[in-house]
């Protein structure tokens, strides 16, 4: 199974939760902190894991669904 990784630009995120709802592995959640615009941005729950421990496949559904283009996908 391919491995992936995403980065979410927290200042672009408006907490619409589309990426959260579409992630098949539920690896994206809303942050407790607010960005400069007053939104609770989404964050990638596997951000601090080593590549071999990640479950993200880099399917890009989160990036495709993001209306603010705040998600960048990387595939190994």
What is the three-class DSSP state of 24? coil
| CATH topology (fold) of 4-75 | Alpha-Beta Plaits (3.30.70)
DSSP category for residue 66: -
Token representation of residue 72:
């960048």
Domains in the chain: boundaries:
4-75
Give the predicted TM-score (pTM) of the model: 0.93
Distance from C-alpha of 62 to C-alpha of 19, rounded to nearest angstrom:
4
What is residue 36's predicted lDDT score, i.e. its pLDDT? Answer: 97
On the question of pLDDT at 76 being above 90, the answer is no
Distance from C-alpha of 5 to C-alpha of 42, rounded to nearest angstrom:
14
Q: Which positions ≥6 away from 23 have C-beta within 8 Å?
A: 61, 62
């Amino acid at each position: 199974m391919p491995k992936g990784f995403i980065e979410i630009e927290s200042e672009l995120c408006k907490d619409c939760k589309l990426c959260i709802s579409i992630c098949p592995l539920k690896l994206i959640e809303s942050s407790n902190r607010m960005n400069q615009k007053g939104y609770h941005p989404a964050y990638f729950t596997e951000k601090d894991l080593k590549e071999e421990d990640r479950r993200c496949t880099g399917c890009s559904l989160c990036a495709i669904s993001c209306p603010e283009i705040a998600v960048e996908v990387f595939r190994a």
